[in-house]
Amino acid sequence: MRLYVLGSGAAHSAGKMRGNKETPSAVFLMRVLILIFFFLLPSCSSPLHIVTDGSHKRLPEKSARIAVWGLRPVVTNTVVVWLRNNGFTVMEPSELQQAFDKENIRVSRSFADEHHAIRVAKQLGVGLVIFTQSAVETNVVNRASTTTTSTPFPGAVRTSFSSASVALRGIEVASSQLIFSATARYPQQLDGAGPGTLSTLACLALETALGVSPPGELALSPGDPCLPSR
């Protein structure tokens, strides 16, 4: 929907045509138009924007067995489902978790235990491990400043918004080399970030990493294949 604003010169000319006197019918019409404008304003809101970045050195073979690891099931499950829907062979995350538990491996957010995870994945016949990392931050805003805390400080107005991001890294088990990586994030603040938010980001990050979608700013609208409502 496009909105047009009448220029001052045109408004002045229109005023002269009316003899600089508003008639009751003109006032009523103006009020009706204003009400219609505010009624339609929500439908003119811009689509949701997501910024992605990523690249790949080479694409994984569909014959290779893939393992997906991360701390948030909604992210790992989204990646697993996407890969399976596109013809890749993916092992169950629970199977990988059981193997890690036997080796006392705890893959942290900083991927500190990545080397050990790849070693175990190799024993399981995995050709590629995709590590996922996600972050959701809630911000509380008061009249004077902004703080990144989940609990408002004394005197703060309880106005909160969220930001979210997902990062993926594909490591080839045989060579321990990074063959692709990508990130997806919301550049704007959200009223609230839930599981659907992270699922969308994971989907777009994977598509960017594998070259399905180009990196950059994307405008999502209803019906987009990466939206949970699909």
What percentage of residues in the chain have a pLDDT greater than 70? 63
pLDDT at residue 72 tops 60: yes
Q: Tokens 């960017």 label which residue?
A: 208
pLDDT at 1: 28
User: Do residues 23 and 130 share a domain?
Assistant: no
| Separation of alpha carbons 224 and 209, rounded Å | 18
CA angle 169, 216, 47 (to 5 degrees): 115
User: Do residues 79 and 25 share a domain?
Assistant: no
User: Do residues 169 and 58 share a domain?
Assistant: yes
pLDDT band per the 50, 70, 90 thresholds, residue 210: very high
pLDDT at residue 13 tops 50: no
User: Do residues 19 and 54 share a domain?
Assistant: no
pLDDT band per the 50, 70, 90 thresholds, residue 229: low
Q: Strand, helix or coil at 100?
A: helix
Q: pLDDT tens-digit profile of 21-63?
A: 456 666 566 665 655 544 444 434 456 688 999 999 999 988 8
Exposure on the CB side of residue 50, measured as CA atoms within 13 A: 28
User: Do residues 134 and 195 share a domain?
Assistant: yes
Within a domain: residue 3? no
pLDDT at 4: 25
- Provide CB contacts within 8 A for 104, sequence distance 6+: none
User: Do residues 32 and 76 share a domain?
Assistant: no
Q: Strand, helix or coil at 144?
A: coil
Structure tokens given for 50: 């997501």
User: Do residues 140 and 157 share a domain?
Assistant: yes
Interstrand relation of 65-69 and 89-90 (parallel, antiparallel or unpaired): parallel
- Provide CB contacts within 8 A for 8, sequence distance 6+: none
Q: What is the dihedral of CA 14, 19, 24, 27, to 10 degrees?
A: 30
User: Do residues 32 and 74 share a domain?
Assistant: no
pLDDT at residue 5 tops 80: no
User: Do residues 55 and 23 share a domain?
Assistant: no
Q: Is the pTM of this model over 0.85?
A: no
- Provide CB contacts within 8 A for 75, sequence distance 6+: 132, 134, 166, 198, 199, 201, 202
Within a domain: residue 2? no
pLDDT at 30: 65
| Separation of alpha carbons 2 and 41, rounded Å | 10
For all residues of the chain together, what is the average pLDDT?
75
Specify the CATH number for the domain of residue 156.
3.40.50.10610
pLDDT at 222: 73
> Which of the given ranges, 71-75, 115-119, 157-161, has the highest pLDDT on average?
71-75
User: Do residues 13 and 90 share a domain?
Assistant: no
Q: pLDDT tens-digit profile of 87-99?
A: 999 998 888 888 8
pLDDT at 52: 95
Q: pLDDT tens-digit profile of 101-142?
A: 887 777 665 455 788 888 888 999 999 999 999 988 776 655
User: Do residues 17 and 69 share a domain?
Assistant: no
Task: Give me the sign of the Cα torsion angle 214, 215, 221, 223.
Answer: positive
Within a domain: residue 1? no
Q: Which domain holds residue 114?
A: 48-220
Candidates 185, 148, 227; CA nearest to 49 is 185
Ramachandran category for residue 223: left, alpha or beta (phi over 0 → left; psi -120 to 50 → alpha): left
pLDDT at 142: 54
**Within 10 A of 221 (CB to CB), how many other CB atoms are there?**
9
pLDDT at residue 64 tops 80: yes
Within a domain: residue 201? yes
